[in-house]
A and B are shown apart, each in its own frame.
Chain A
Amino acid sequence: MSADQMKLDIVISGVGGQGAILASDIIGKAAVLEGVPIRAAETHGMAQRGGSVVNHIRLGCELGSMIPLHGADVLLALEPAEALRYIDYLSDDGVVIVNTQPVFPITVTSGGDEYPDVSEIVGVLKSAYKVVVFNALELAIEAGHPQAMNVVMVGAVSNYLPMSEELLIDCIKRMVPPKTVDINVRAFELGRAQV
């Protein structure tokens, strides 16, 4: 594979606790096994307590880990409001993959803020970008556990990655708790079928 073919900038956005780090780790580990140089940036610490989180993953990159604005090829949004919040990272011809299941922030549950209509969010995204939408939580539950939502999303984005399906599944098997391997492999496959 030439360096240009390996090049792919992905932004993963979501909510602290949804497993954005495991999602980017699966992609990262597979990239290294494939011999693809990789740089990634993560949100740790203060921002993790239910806050908005964003990870950058740059495949085929040997410089810095931060994707420039309007530079991402794919925005993988684990939550609909977080898709919109980080949409400016996506390049004009980029793809946004959105889990339609909202997670209400504390400002909505016990504050006075309103959570926007999900279909309205999706509509806005569709007016400007190529969009893949589905409810990843429902697919995770179908696979066996709601927590596998992040792996459903990895399955969806896998269609764009310069790594084989086998390699990604192999990484998932090694990285998730042993008891949850079957659930997560199913979650990956259900997600992969969405694109």
Chain B
Amino acid sequence: MNTREYMLGNVAIARGIVEGGAQVISGYPGTPSSEIIDTLSRMDERNFYVEWSVNEKVAMEVAAGAAWSGVRSVVTMKHVGLNVAADPLMTLAYTGIKGGMVIIVADDPSCHSSQNEQDTRKYADFSLIPCLDPSTIQEAKDMIPYAFKLSEKFEIPVIFRPTTRISHGKSDIEPGEVVEDRPPAHFEKLLDRWVMLPKNARVRHPHLLGIQESIAKELEGSQWNELSINNDSESRIGIIASGIASVYAKEAILNLGVDVSFLKIGTYPVPQGLIKDMLERVETVLVIEELEPVVEDRVRIIANETGSNVRIIGKTGDFVPRIGELNVELCEDAIANAFGMHEKTKLAESAVDVGKMADVADMASIELPLRPPAMCPGCSHRSVYYAMKKVFGNDAVYPSDIGCYTLGVQSGTVETTLCMGSSITLASGIYHAGESRPICCSIGDSTFFHTGMNGLMNAVYNKANITVTILDNRVTAMTGHQPNPGMGKTATGEPTVDISIENLCRGLGAEFVEVVDAYDRKATEEVFKRAKEYVGTSVVIAEQACVINARRAGIRLKSYVIDVEKCTGCKQCVKFGCPAIEFDNVGKHAKITALCTGCGVCAQICKFDAISEVEK
């Protein structure tokens, strides 16, 4: 019987977590990692605990606490989340764990939904924590139960690093057995392990270094590394590829029909013995990996140690790009260029630039309009930004943060995006630098809970004269509508305390805190005026449910329509930027399309009273 199932990469990873017998799973949403916990938290029957934590550091520590209590745990995040959790990570390597602990960090080469494309394998190297790098979705699922065993054997967490194409890819998957054996939690009071006083740390650091060789040996023999050498062949060409790049490289080798020795790498530390075998056999090795030259540098060190004079190329020699994700074409070019199969092409020319003009369109000189993502019709962020811009003007400084509202960059009210929670702190720094123009920053509810709170406390304490706008749409929207502490429910939908952002801000010391309905344009403008006048840190909380979430909850507002008799064609409503408002160039009037969700903000903007609710 066919038992295979069609699964999203993150769903397969969630399946691997269940098969591996995890008992505590925590994480903070971040593309491309979010659907792992979404899948686990929505399961009808669960024999594990799962939570959305308020940030990655918190999540990592929750998972560590569980692992110190002897049960298997998982923490999930995106690559930049590991920067937030780097503090516990570095010392967890020293303390180690008892129950298996897997740290899932999803990388995003090409920055599909991220502010940078850092390579988590560097963190693995830095922290001396082993790392598994899947090449297919099946492997991703199968690696998780293995990671728990590895983690327990060496009492050290294991980093598991999928990339966007694993997490958001789909594949037919063969499910495996679920581990039924679940040890009871028991926190063993191993103070020399869990209390990292200097005297204990000085013992644990050499211990960590000491187990590296055994970990490397264990990984070397694992199924995740594969060396194929054709002994009958004359070929002296070697290709080493890691993670997802290895399937691209395999396809490129097939397409080119080249005869090579091939080493696929899926673990860090890298398999030293297999690399040595490869080096003995070939004259040139091309290393194909996404992002940083992690494998390549290691191969060079191994070659150096063994006195090999094999030519090692990859990022070196510009054969493989260090930026963006790889694909079959880039691998074909790298191989063809490296082994003189055709004249060397420039990397940039062969890269696929999504959204760039296609050759065919180019020929016919059709100009395609760009289609950037935009805030939804009826999104409350748009109306808050509109009022903000009106009150603060073009001259003000607008630091912002990470979420759907970053798309407001088109409204001219997003002038910085650095990392989670950085809007308030950057605003403070800009103020203390002596910037004399008004400063109004924006941050979403989930980002405020994540790391914005600390920044607000700091701003109030250090007397920053800025306005902080909290765009409270009562959900972590951008990553797929995960619950957060402002919603009164947990990851699994269980009712819990609804944390008041207003009280929180007052608790952090803010004295000017006003709450306003984000759809009420006049009221929002009035609040912004008062906030601008206020000397000190003023907080404006603009509330309105995310329009997608509201629809899902069954809230349907009456849509709006334009009275073409009254419409003068002034385009004020069109400039508002709602995707539901178009301009009829023939009739010279605005029109509202079926996308309208009924927020009614455009009706408040129209000076000619030409927009009204549809009568029913």
Q: Kindly list chain A residues whose C-beta atoms are within 8 Å of the C-beta of B251.
A: 63-64, 68
Bitwise, A1-45 to B at CB < 8 A (1) or not (0) is 000000000000001100000001100110111011111111111
* B259 touches A (CB below 8 Å): no
* B112 CB–A CB distance under 8 Å: yes
Q: Does chain A have a CB within 8 A of B373? A: yes
Q: In the bound complex, what is the Cα–Cα distance between A65 and B376 (angstroms)?
A: 30
Chain B residues near A85 (CB, 8 Å)? 355, 358, 361, 368, 371
* Listed A/B pairs (10) with beta-carbon separation below 8 Å: A44-B168, A64-B165, A64-B244, A66-B165, A69-B352, A84-B360, A87-B360, A109-B582, A124-B363, A124-B366
Task: Count A-B pairs with CB separation below 8 Å.
Answer: 184
Within 8 A of B (CB), among A42-64: 42-52, 54, 63-64
Whether B372 contacts A105 by the Cβ 8 Å rule is: yes
Closest-CB distance, A95 to chain B (whole angstroms): 15
CB nearest to B327 among chain A residues: A66
* Residues of the B chain whose Cβ atoms lie less than 8 Å from the Cβ of A178: none
Return B320 CB to nearest CB of chain A, in Å: 16
16 more contacts with CB within 8 A, not counting A50-B371, A64-B248, A66-B327, are A32-B2, A35-B4, A37-B172, A41-B168, A42-B8, A45-B479, A69-B352, A81-B369, A84-B361, A105-B370, A105-B371, A107-B370, A108-B369, A109-B582, A125-B360, A127-B364
| A105-B369 CB under 8 A given contacts A50-B376, A65-B170, A87-B360 | yes
* Cβ contact within 8 Å between B371 and A114: no
Assess whether B579 is interfacial by the CB under 8 Å rule: yes
Given A105-B370, A107-B370, residue A66 in contact with residue B328 (CB < 8 A): yes
Q: A84-B360, A85-B358, A88-B358 are in contact. Are A113 and B6 (CB under 8 A)?
A: no
Asked if B53 lies at the interface with its beta carbon under 8 angstroms from chain A, I say no
| Most chain A C-beta atoms within 10 Å of own C-beta, residue among B32, B329, B366 | B366
- Name the B residues within 8 Å of A107 (CB-CB): 369-372
Which B residue's beta carbon lies closest to that of A36?
B172
Residues of chain B lying within 8 A (CB to CB) of residue A42:
8, 168-170
A48 with B165: CB separation less than 8 A: no
Tell yes or no: B610 within 8 A of A by CB.
no
0 or 1 for each of B349-365: is its CB under 8 Å from A? (1 = yes): 00010110011110110
Q: Are A110 and B576 in contact (CB under 8 A)?
A: yes
Fill in one digit per residue for A74-109: 1 if any B CB lies within 8 Å of its CB, else 0.
Answer: 000000011011111000000000000000111111
A121: Cβ under 8 A from any B Cβ = yes
- Bound together, the chains give a CA A54 to CA B464 distance in angstroms of 45
A127: B residues at CB distance < 8 A: 360, 364
Cα–Cα distance between A63 and B360 once the two chains are bound (Å): 29
Is B430 interfacial (CB-CB < 8 Å)? no
What is the interface size of chain A, counting residues whose CB is below 8 A from a CB of the partner?
A: 62
For A42, A51, A63, which residue has the most chain B Cβ atoms within 10 angstroms? A63
Report if A121-B366 is in contact (Cβ < 8 Å); known contacts: A44-B168, A87-B361.
Answer: yes
Q: How far is the CA of A88 from the CA of B594 in the complex (A)?
A: 32
Per the bound structure, the CA–CA distance linking A86 and B358 in Å amounts to 7
Residue B171 lies at the interface, judged by CB distance under 8 Å to chain A: yes
Given contacts A49-B374, A50-B376, A54-B354, contact A63 B368 (CB under 8 A): no
Interface residues of B in 413-463 (CB under 8 A from A): none
Query: Closest Cβ of chain B: how far from A65's Cβ, in Å?
Result: 4
Give the A-binding residues of B (Cβ under 8 A): 2, 4-6, 8, 31-32, 35, 112-113, 165, 168-172, 244, 247-248, 250-251, 255, 327-329, 332, 352, 354-355, 358-361, 363-364, 366-376, 404, 407, 410, 478-480, 574-579, 581-583, 594
Q: Output the residue of A40, A46, A115 with the most chain B CB within 10 A.
A: A46
Query: B581–A109 contact, CB under 8 A?
Result: yes
Q: Which residues of B contact A177 (CB under 8 A)?
A: none
Question: Chain A residues near B168 (CB, 8 Å)?
Answer: 41-45
Q: How far is the CA of A50 from the CA of B373 in the complex (A)?
A: 5
A63 contacts B369, C-beta separation under 8 Å: no
Residues in B with CB closer than 8 Å to A106 are: 371-372, 374, 410, 577, 579
In whole angstroms, how far apart are the Cα atoms of A66 and B135 in the complex? Answer: 13
A166 interfacial by beta-carbon distance below 8 Å: no
> A115-128: contact bitstring with B at CB < 8 Å (1 yes, 0 no)?
11000110111011
Residue picked from A35, A64, A116, most chain B C-beta under 10 Å: A64
A42-B168, A63-B251, A87-B358 given as contacts; is B2 within 8 A of A49 (CB)? no
Q: In the complex the two chains form, is A45's CB within 8 Å of B328's CB?
A: no
B364→A45 contact, CB < 8 A: no
C-alpha spacing A149/B168, complex, angstroms: 23
**Which residues of B sit under 8 angstroms from A121, Cβ to Cβ?**
366
Partner of B355, one of A35, A39, A52, A111: A52
The listed residue (A29, A35, A84, A111) touching B366 by CB distance below 8 A is: A84
Residue of A42, A71, A85, A110 with most chain B CB atoms under a 10 A cut-off: A110
